[in-house]
Structure 1
């Protein structure tokens, strides 16, 4: 597996990222019983309009996962972590989050996931993230927020 910096503005990578994102969030929607996850319904233009930094994992040259985040002087906010469903449970998500953590320095790292997304919650907790709380972001759609202070 190779992890490298990418941009959704590159073609055809942007379309590949969007397709993988939709497939990954469809799995999360099934896990949490709710398909109102905003990135599940994003267009390519909306994806490209987000001011995010991206890393992607490639296995044998094929896109297998990606992580995007925003950062400030004090904090990194992991905005999305997606793994191709056919590549799930192979350590790709963990490797991508660890790559972001390596860029954090001493800054706090925050992330949110669906409250009922047990695999994602296990991943973040296994990496040392602490649960900040659970929030109902829209009626009946709950997220769990995490932080890691290094």
Structure 2
């Protein structure tokens, strides 16, 4: 079941962090850089990020999260994370589908580490097109994607 998360509730923010940290550590290992800003998040930073959070729950246990910012008819995905214990169950797909069908939007934007091949494949498979690549430092570059609905 997917439902909105009240990130201002400290327990909910902790639950999101408990998904986010192991998920982004896997990405950090894939891309060879631990300079991913979400690995520095805290309950406080989550509560003040101005993102809207939705969670995928199995038996009342949070397994995956998507966070977005909406600007008119555009959605910017800031996080699409699944706990490693729940990889390969289609949870990321369910969360993306939820945003595509429940929000009145025309365009979805997202960025991921260029070396994060599973994420790059996921977005391409879902009809996103590569807009640009930004080199952050020697080890890290980001690929930006966009999808018109």
Q: Which runs of 5+ in 1 are unaligned?
A: none
2-structure distance, mates of 1:8, 1:81: 15
**Which residue in the other structure is 1:5 paired with?**
4
Q: Which runs of 5+ in 2 are unaligned?
A: none
Matches within 5 A, 1:40-79: 40-79=39-78
Task: Kindly state the Cα deviation for residue 106 of structure 1 after the two structures are TM-superposed.
Answer: 4.3
1-structure distance, mates of 2:137, 2:98: 31
Matches within 5 A, 1:118-129: 118-129=117-128
**Which residue in the other structure is 1:15 paired with?**
14
**Which residue in the other structure is 2:30 paired with?**
31
Q: Is the CA contact (8 Å cut-off) linking 1:73 and 1:107 kept in structure 2?
A: no
Count of residues in correspondence between the two structures:
149
Task: Kindly state the Cα deviation for residue 139 of structure 1 after the two structures are TM-superposed.
Answer: 4.5
Q: Is the CA contact (8 Å cut-off) linking 1:70 and 1:78 kept in structure 2?
A: yes
1-structure distance, mates of 2:105, 2:94: 19
1-structure distance, mates of 2:105, 2:15: 33
Q: Give deviations 1:73-132, integer Å, cap 9, x for gaps.
A: 131000111101100111001110111111343421100011011111111111111111
TM-score by length of 1: 0.94
2-structure distance, mates of 1:11, 1:48: 8
Matches within 5 A, 1:85-124: 85-124=84-123
RMSD after superposition: 1.2
TM-score by length of 2: 0.95
